[in-house]
Amino acid sequence: KVVVVGSYIVDLMCRTPHIPKPGETVLGGSFQMGPGGKGGNQAVAAARLGSDVTMVTKVGKDVFGEEAIRNFQKEGIDISRVNCDEKEATGTALIAVDQHGENMIVVALGACGSLTEEDVEQARGEFADADIILVQLETSIEAVKKTIELANEFVKPVILNPAPYQEIGEDLLKGVTYITPNETEVFALTGIEVTNFSQAQKAAIKLTNKGVSTVIITLGRKGCFVYDGTDAGRMIAGYEVKAVDTTGAGDAFNGAFATFISQGFNLDEAARLSNSVAALSVTKIGTSVSMPYKEELDFLKDN
């Protein structure tokens, strides 16, 4: 079982002829609403690959919150730990996308931003029978901290996807089994710009020195770099695909990685398979909706 602790955000997306200037109203084109948030996206990615997933998050008492629950249920995700906040609204992202694909986004984390230590504590039983825990930084740091503590208490592996990056105490890294930053996040964490193998290695060593067991740096179409301290680290090549929308690639990767590690694949195999899932996800438009199903992976078997 995979336990995901993180955000649920509804994406409200409008196409627009151009991005509005302050004070300007633009008559936009089509409107689209869809489930989003890193936590929710990663939960969907894992569920579609066959994982038994429990989502720990918080939504508001509003229509978007009801929609969130419906959507999780449709994906077969356990919603018993989705709490409802009395005061805050469900997390929302207001997105405007122009003809060139340029975008402007305002996120109000709302309910999922105020996930408390107690919300996570209430899910203690889920941690006890989890195979792996997956958490991001799109909630409160206290919730992230509690998640890592509980995972450590039950001696369960925990993946920290440090996205979107926010300042975290160094102490927090000590209990992390796997950390999965992209290039931007690894720079924020270590001050190292990862453009080649030796820099990836340097950054990974820096993170393991802070107490993380295994480092996976995702490198877009190039794939990822993995390091577990047993050797100099390895590049796990990405899959060549025709990318149409790379948003959510990291979410696909993390949901997949949690799934494959929990199924007993070794680090390199799990990373390679996660590269393939993420590659498939960028061939389709959307985040949550573009997460591939287990059956689709057969395509890549001989790749």
Residue 127 contacts residue 151 (beta carbons within 8 Å)? yes
In the complex, what is the shortest distance from the CB of residue 137 to ligand ADP, in angstroms, rounded to a whole number?
A: 12
27-49: b or e for each residue (b if 16 or more CB lie within 10 Å)?
A: ebeeeeebbbbbbbbbbbbbbbb
Please pick, from the candidates 142, 239, 245, 297, the single residue that binds ligand ADP as defined by CB under 6 A.
Answer: 239
Specify the length of the chain in residues: 303
Question: Catalytic residue among 78, 251, 268, 298, which?
Answer: 251
Check binding of 180 to ligand ADP (CB under 6 A).
no
**Cβ closer to ligand ADP: 69 or 300?**
300
Task: Write the CB contacts of 79 (distance below 8 Å, at least 6 apart in sequence).
Answer: 55, 69, 72, 73
Q: Which of 238, 255, 286, 292 binds ligand ADP (CB under 6 A)?
A: 238
Q: Using CB atoms, what's the residue nearest to ligand ADP?
A: 250
| Stretch binding ligand ADP (CB under 6 A), from 147-155, 191-199, 240-248, 285-293 | 240-248
CB of 216 to ligand ADP, least distance (A): 8
Residue 144 CA: distances (Å) to CA of 124, 136, 268, 295: 14, 7, 26, 32
Question: Taking Cα atoms as reference points, which of 84, 78, 93, 99 lies closest to residue 38?
Answer: 93
- Radius of gyration of the chain from its Cα atoms, rounded to whole angstroms: 19
Active-site residue, 251 included: yes
d(CA 209, CA 207): 5
Minimum distance, C-beta of residue 256 to ligand ADP, in the bound complex (Å) = 9
Positions that interact with ligand ADP (CB under 6 A):
163, 182, 218-221, 223-224, 238-239, 241, 243, 246, 249-250, 253, 275, 278-279, 282
Binding residues for ATP: 182, 218-223, 250-251, 275
